[in-house]
Every structure is written in C-alpha cells, then in structure tokens.
Amino acid sequence: ISTSGIAGPNGGSIEKPVGLVWIAIALPTKTIVKKFQFGDNRERTIQMTVSSALNYLRYELETT
C-alpha cells in the first residue's frame, strides 16, 4: 500500500491542487491506483488518506 499527494497548506498547483492524493495497492495478481481529492484542510486530508487507504485495502483483501 502506498500514498502520495499534497496535504497542504502550501505546495499545490493547478495540475496538482492541495488535497490531491493517490492511493495504490499491490496485490499478488493486480495493482490498483485510485485518485482522491480531499480539499484544502491539511489535517482532514491526512486523516481521510489514512482512513481511505486502510478501508480500500480491507475491501480488496475481502473481495480478492
């Protein structure tokens, strides 16, 4: 599992705005990458990234 993005409050651009996050999960048979936009609140972006990554991993493990 991997995450990458811009939590802010600085560092964003038009192409990569603050709150943009990518989550990737590598499983034995596939690799999945998802894009999220969590807004411009740094703490919320961090919390949502962790929560989304773990929930997404749990879902993939349960359905694979």
Per-residue pLDDT tens over the stretch 5-64: 999 999 999 999 999 999 999 999 999 999 999 999 999 999 999 999 999 999 999 997
Whether the bond into 17 is cis, omega within 30 of 0: no
Nearby residues of 8 by Cβ (< 8 Å), 6 or more positions away = 18, 19, 40, 41, 42, 45
Q: What is the pLDDT of residue 56?
A: 94
Would strands 2-5 and 31-37 be described as parallel, antiparallel, or unpaired? unpaired
Q: What is the pLDDT of residue 64?
A: 79
